[in-house]
Amino acid sequence: MWAVALKMLLGDKAKYFGLVFGVTFASLLMGQQVSVFISLMTRTAGLIFDLTEADIWVMDQRVRYIDEAEPIRDIDLSVVRSIQGVEWAVPFYKGVATVRQPNGLSQVVVLVGVDDISLVGLATDTILGNATVITQPQTAMMDKNGYKFMWPNTPFEIGKELEINDNRLVINAICNAAPTLTTYPTLYVSYSTVTQLFPQSRNKLPFIVVKVAKSESVQDVANRIQKETGLQALSRIEFAWRSINYFATRTGIPINFGITVFLGVLIGAAITAQTFYLFIVENLKQFAAMKAFGFTNSQLFQLVAFQALFVGVIGYSLGMGLTALFIRSVSNVPAFRGLTLHWQVVAGAATMIALIILVSILVSLLKVFRADPAMVFRG
Amino acid sequence: MNAIQLTNVSKQYQSGDLSTLALDNVTLTIPMGKLSMLVGPSGCGKTTLISVASGILTPTSGEVVTLGYPLSTLSDTQNVTFRRQHIGFIFQQFNLLSSLTAAENAAMPLVASGVPLRKATQQAITLLNDLGMGAHCHKLPRQLSGGQQQRVAIARSLVHQPDMIICDEPTASLDGKTGHDVMEILRHIANDPKRAVLIVSHDTRVFSFADHLVEMADGRILTNPSN
């Protein structure tokens, strides 16, 4: 029975490849587009996800996402440290700054300032130099892709000089860092360097990151911090999702990607469904003949379902394989930093493909079930 | 036991407001062990009659008893099982599955009964050898001539050893010589007293092969030697 199903399917190579192409195309579109979308959204909270040591982020009540930094008072750091359940709390700076290169060109950068002692929040995957070098005055570490962005086709080297707010800054380390939504280079400095770079502003501290004591619940400590300081205290995941949701709801990214993904799924579904439908309809007389000499509707269902499953598994595997190949091939392209094929995407695409195929075969099978075996007598 | 016993059978097709009476109060007996032939002009109801007699179509009224089974009382599933076990079909257009070899096509009724394709194909090859098709068992239908395809269809109709073979214009797509050869084979099959062969045809060249000739026109039986 299965052999018959397979022979019928593979007998018409053109239609078989058409079916596989439809499923492959739909899988590729879903996998690739959704992955790019997730990657973009994740980038909006990349720094938060990366700072795994911290359980709670403390910030101004008005902050809606990580790039919306409202300075809070330095004294709040001491208040937070004194709250029950806080194991440690350190300052964390994230902002944008304009740097000037020796050749006079300016460039906007993401400036990350980490606690001088603990270095909490510092990227640790150093590819040149030593990350701890940033504790020295006028010293910074730059992310690899930012370096490539600023000095394309130049080998990595330490000692490059920049100027921020009339202060000299030397890049003495280069690292891999979590990608951000923008392609701006990320500069890591110590928090005390941040205060020296911008001495004129009284309050500079945008975030306090907190580690909760093992015996305490994160939510309880966050509530205490909010109560004691009047500041907003969110768990790491809560803040990351808040940042993602901000971009998802306040920018055109989701709707545009959503339309693309939707169209991709629609086109893939239409190709798959139509090709499968035509495949069945063109074989209708053969199915009618099979019914005439004793194949039951149940047997024909099994036969068509097996064909659909075969096409689905091959097409889906090819589609996911091509998606993985695409992600692998662009892994070194700065614009695609952090692009990953998540298992949820793989599972989601599998579900969608299964649904498309199920609907296709059900519609096609109605035609088979209604096929009048008497049609085989018509010339 | 008669192969087919139709009593006051009518079949009406309804398409919107248009109603067509394809069988008009037909009473007919087809005996076992003979080659019966149903003849008449196109559109006279021959195909409808064999569809009703084989359980493919349900009559609007009347009683159909085929090989002792009252088909009107059988459920759809029982009807399919009945056809699978007792009837072999030969069609004008052969209706071979284009992706399967001659032997695999001939094996289809056995596959429908749950016999694995490999085993069913072996049985079909034996039958194809008997029909002089031994050299063509592994060819696809498109690699066979019309006569060879019809022989495969004959093998398919016989492979599950049915009690009755129903043929719809088996020679219509064949030249005179090949048609004659096919009729010789069917004639030989009909010699078995436990088997009936019913052929629908308007090909006057083959009428001479019939033991039992039934003539139809406008949904009615004009002449039937058994009545």
Would you say residue A243 lies in a domain?
no
- B100 interfacial to chain A (CB closer than 8 Å): yes
**B56's tokens:** 């493919």
**A284's tokens:** 């209708």
Give the closest residue to A51 by CA, choosing from A93, A107, A4. Answer: A93
H/E stretch holding A110? strand A106-114
Span B186-209, average pLDDT: 87
CATH code reported for the domain at B4-223:
3.40.50.300
CB contact under 8 A, B91 and A289: yes
Q: Which residues 283-312 of A have a C-beta within 8 angstroms of B?
A: 285-286, 289-296, 299
What pLDDT shows up at residue B73? 87
Measure the CA–CA gap between A143 and A14, rounded to whole angstroms.
Answer: 50
What pLDDT shows up at residue A334? 67
pLDDT at B77 over 90: no
What pLDDT shows up at residue A376? 67
- Please measure the distance between the N-terminal and C-terminal CA atoms of chain B and give it in whole angstroms: 15
CB contact under 8 A, A290 and B108: yes
Highest-confidence range of A31-45, A242-256, A326-340, B151-165, by mean pLDDT? Answer: B151-165
CB contact under 8 A, A379 and B172: yes
What pLDDT shows up at residue B226? 58
3-class DSSP state for residue A322?
helix
One domain, residues A333 and A279: yes
- B74 interfacial to chain A (CB closer than 8 Å): no
| Total number of domains constituting chain A | 2
Give the closest residue to A169 by CA, choosing from A206, A128, A198. Answer: A198
- B170 interfacial to chain A (CB closer than 8 Å): no
CA distances from A371 to A368, A374, B25, B51 (A): 5, 9, 27, 14
* Domain boundaries, given as residue ranges, for chain B: 4-223
Mutate to test the interface with A, among B23, B89, B142 (most CBs of A within 10 A): B89
Give the closest residue to B9 by CA, choosing from B43, B55, B41, B42. Answer: B55
What pLDDT shows up at residue A44? 79
| A106 in Cβ contact with A283 (< 8 Å) | no
Measure the CA–CA gap between A113 and A190, rounded to whole angstroms.
Answer: 5
One domain, residues A257 and A143: no
Q: At what angle do helices A297-329 and A13-43 cross, to 10 degrees?
A: 50
CB contact under 8 A, B117 and A374: no
Measure the CA–CA gap between B183 and A107, rounded to whole angstroms.
Answer: 92
**B69's tokens:** 């089974």
Facing residue for A8 by CB, picked from B47, B83, B99 = B99
- B5 interfacial to chain A (CB closer than 8 Å): no
- B51 interfacial to chain A (CB closer than 8 Å): yes
pLDDT at A127 over 70: yes
- A13 interfacial to chain B (CB closer than 8 Å): no
> Could you report the per-residue pLDDT of A213-239, keeping only the tens digit for each?
998 999 999 999 999 999 999 999 999
> Could you report the per-residue pLDDT of B86-116, keeping only the tens digit for each?
999 888 888 898 889 999 999 999 999 889 9
Measure the CA–CA gap between A171 and A158, rounded to whole angstroms.
Answer: 6
**A227's tokens:** 């109560």
Measure the CA–CA gap between B109 and B148, rounded to whole angstroms.
Answer: 19
pTM over 0.80: no
Residue finishing a domain among A170, A195, A230: A230
What pLDDT shows up at residue B144? 93
Domain of A92, in residue numbers = 73-230
Would you say residue A361 lies in a domain?
yes
Would you say residue A61 lies in a domain?
no
One domain, residues A209 and A129: yes
CB contact under 8 A, A299 and B98: no
Highest-confidence range of A9-23, A178-192, A199-213, A233-247, by mean pLDDT? Answer: A233-247
CB contact under 8 A, B112 and A12: no
**A323's tokens:** 């998606």
Q: How confident is the model at residue B206 (pLDDT cuts 50, 70, 90)?
A: confident
Mean pLDDT over the full length of chain A: 86
One domain, residues A206 and A273: no
Facing residue for B95 by CB, picked from A1, A9, A285 = A285
Neighbouring C-alpha atoms within 13 Å toward the C-beta of B179: 19
One domain, residues A298 and A360: yes
State the complex-level ipTM. 0.80
One domain, residues A88 and A167: yes
| A231 in Cβ contact with A76 (< 8 Å) | yes
3-class DSSP state for residue A198?
coil
Distance from CA of B112 to the nearest CA of A (A): 5
Would you say residue A130 lies in a domain?
yes
One domain, residues A340 and A268: yes
Measure the CA–CA gap between A263 and A30, rounded to whole angstroms.
Answer: 10
One domain, residues A216 and A81: yes
- Please measure the distance between the N-terminal and C-terminal CA atoms of chain A and give it in whole angstroms: 28
Facing residue for B113 by CB, picked from A7, A285, A294 = A294
Span A316-324, average pLDDT: 94
Give the closest residue to B38 by CA, choosing from B171, B226, B214. Answer: B214
pLDDT at A346 over 60: yes
One domain, residues A168 and A89: yes
Mean pLDDT over the full length of chain B: 89
- Which chain A positions have a beta carbon within 8 Å of B48's beta carbon? 374
- A371 interfacial to chain B (CB closer than 8 Å): no
> Could you report the per-residue pLDDT of A25-80, keeping only the tens digit for each?
888 888 888 888 888 777 778 788 878 889 999 999 998 888 887 888 888 999 99
What pLDDT shows up at residue B132? 85
- The amino acid sitting at A223 is N
Q: How confident is the model at residue A200 (pLDDT cuts 50, 70, 90)?
A: low
Would you say residue A328 lies in a domain?
yes
**B24's tokens:** 């008009």
| A357 in Cβ contact with A265 (< 8 Å) | no
